[in-house]
Structure 1
């Protein structure tokens, strides 16, 4: 029962939509900004870098602090760690405060990974994303940047993270956290995949004509 209560608390922490609420305080409804994602990036676009950075920090902390608080306890072991670590990510992605329409869970994911691996996996994920972004820019040359490609990089980067986790000999429960995080990111970025695939098929059709 205590594990269930702590998991619910971690989910509630993740579900607090700070970026969305900061946007409303600044008279910006993020559901009408960019792709409509109620996250820190759209807050940055709508209200400037100061509020954007505040949103990123708060979204990070709502994943980081609960896991940091519980680290070393009996609850944060084995399958308990999986439940506790995935809960804030799921809370952000499917926030009850927004009727299940939460954000894409990137900053909160970094917070969770920072807490459970002493920043190691979070830094590795950041390095992977930086490398993918550099490769993407090279492949696109001078072409326009797309939100779809950023979404693809987030998911592909997470798909590659187990290589680091395996090399670092992290415990099996960490792989369970990764699986839960990966499934949520795939779900939240499914529109990016669909849009990218649709544009690719159109491009192939144009090339054939």
Structure 2
């Protein structure tokens, strides 16, 4: 019962679509702008720096705060805590406030990991920075595509899973990293499909 209650509460927290609502406050429907993602990055593009920063902060906080409170309660541990910690990410990705069509959950993911394991959150940030730098070297002055960004986000989380195994982190932490990586792959599925299709076309023309 404790697990179900915490999971429901954390899912509800994650499902609060702050960036989307801030967009509406700024008279911008994020569903009709850019890639239609109701997240903080699209809010930044649609409404500017101030709204974008507010969206990032709130999406981050809805991952950080509920997980931190859950852990501080001392009533959840192990795989149960790890599974509940994934709930804010699931809530953002499948928000009932948007009829199950949520966002990509990157900021919320960082919030969850900062509450759960700061070392892991820092490792993920470093991994993403390294992938970003490597991509910059590979493509030169060209702007990064949405497909490349999506690939880096997902690959970064999967590399965090490898890092957790190498560092002998508790098994629930490693399992959460893998589950989070699969969820990010789902939320970025359109970009990953386009990337795979593009790679397939490149191979056909060689």
Instruction: Give the corresponding residue for 2:58.
Output: 58
Aligned to 1:142: 141
Offset of 1:57 from its aligned partner? 0.5
Post-superposition shift, 1:83? Answer: 2.1
CA distance in 2, matches of 1:75, 1:104: 29
1:1-209 to 2 correspondence within 5 Å?
A: 1-117=1-117, 119-205=118-204, 207-208=205-206
TM-score (norm 2): 0.95
Aligned to 1:201, the other structure's residue is in SS state helix
Structure 1 unaligned runs (5+)? none
Q: Distance in 2 between matches of 1:94 and 1:171?
A: 28
Aligned Cα root-mean-square deviation (Å): 1.3
Distance 2:201 2:84 in 1: 42
Is the contact between residue 93 and residue 105 of structure 2 (CA under 8 Å) also seen in structure 1?
yes
Cα shift readout 1:99-131 (whole Å, capped 9, x = no counterpart): 1110001000000000011x2111110110011
Determine helix, strand or coil for the equivalent of 1:80. Answer: helix
Shift of 1:173: 1.2
Contact 2:161 2:175 in 1 (8 A): no
Cα distance in structure 2, aligned partners of 1:144 and 1:110: 24
Post-superposition CA distance 1:164-203 (Å, at most 9, x none): 3234332111122112211211111111111011222233
Moved more, 177-186 or 122-131: 177-186
1:81-111, Cα deviation, whole Å (9 max, x unpaired): 1221011110001111111110001000000
Question: What is the CA–CA distance in structure 2 between the aligned matches of 1:156 and 1:123, rounded to whole Å?
Answer: 16
Unaligned 5+ runs, structure 2: none
Contact 1:63 1:112 in 2 (8 A): yes
How far off is 1:74 after superposition? 4.0
Following the alignment from structure 1 to structure 2, what is the Cα–Cα distance between the partners of residues 171 and 57? 29
CA distance in 1, matches of 2:48, 2:74: 42
Shift of residue 72, structure 1, vs aligned partner: 4.1
The count of corresponding residues between Structure 1 and Structure 2 is 206
| Corresponding residue SS for 1:71 | helix
SS at match of 1:76: coil
CA distance in structure 1 between the partners assigned to 2:162 and 2:52 by the alignment? 31
By how many angstroms is 1:73 displaced? 3.5
**1:48, 1:76 → 2: CA distance?**
39
